[in-house]
Amino acid sequence: MPGTTDGPIRVDPGEQALVSVPSMGSPLTTLPDDAFENLLVVSATAAPGKVESLVERRGGDPEKVGVVPVTGSPTEYAGPLWTTDPVDPSDLTGISIRLSKAMEYVTRGGWVVVDNVNVLLMYGREEQVFRLFDSVVSNAREKQARGAYCTVREAVTDETFGRFRDLCDRAISVE
């Protein structure tokens, strides 16, 4: 049973968490303020401009935040966030390549956030998404970065949730 929090997500350096989030909310709103000091977001639900606005509303510096935009639509962004080229949600190899490059900028104690694992599961086969997830979790753990991998719990089977949960140190549910 995941622990439930109505405050900021608390994850220690190197710790990886599968985070159950509400379907319509941004998981970035549940991060502690210091997460915005070194944050990489794999964003399948928000364009870079929206991520920038959220970071600024939270008092963070967008220049310290990187985004891997996962979208099927063409997007252009010329703001202060560090971004990769957009990648289609069905292109798990492309996501992996962009993530590998972006992880170079994540420091010990920084954050790696996947804002919605469900989107990847909608476009890719579960086994492929699982391998990508395993790689991201391992890389973040190796760098001693904090990981928050968000999923809408009700939208995945117990078996799928369990597989992803087993790769993480713990599961958290946010209100």
Place of tokens 């998981």: 27
Q: Within 13 A of 1's CA, how many CA atoms are on the CB side?
A: 2
Residues 6+ apart with CB under 8 A from 96: 132, 135
* Start-to-end C-alpha separation, the chain: 15
Residue 3 confidence (pLDDT): 63
CA 16 to chain centre: 11
For residues 118 and 153, the answer to whether their CB atoms sit within 8 Å is no
Distances, alpha carbon 75 to alpha carbons 17, 81, 98, 122, 167, in Å: 29, 14, 16, 20, 32
Token pair of 162, please? Answer: 């369990």
Residue 73 confidence (pLDDT): 84
For residues 16 and 172, the answer to whether their CB atoms sit within 8 Å is no
CA distance 2 to 17: 10
CA distance 4 to 7: 9
In terms of Cβ atoms closer than 10 Å to its own Cβ (0-12, 13-18, 19+), residue 111 is buried
Token pair of 30, please? Answer: 């549940």
Residue 1 confidence (pLDDT): 43
Eight-state DSSP code of residue 58? T
For residues 115 and 43, the answer to whether their CB atoms sit within 8 Å is yes
pLDDT by residue for the chain (175 residues), tens only, comes to 456 556 789 999 999 999 999 887 778 889 999 999 999 999 998 999 999 999 999 999 999 999 999 998 887 899 999 999 999 999 999 999 999 999 999 999 999 999 999 999 999 999 999 999 999 999 999 999 999 999 999 999 999 999 999 999 999 999 7
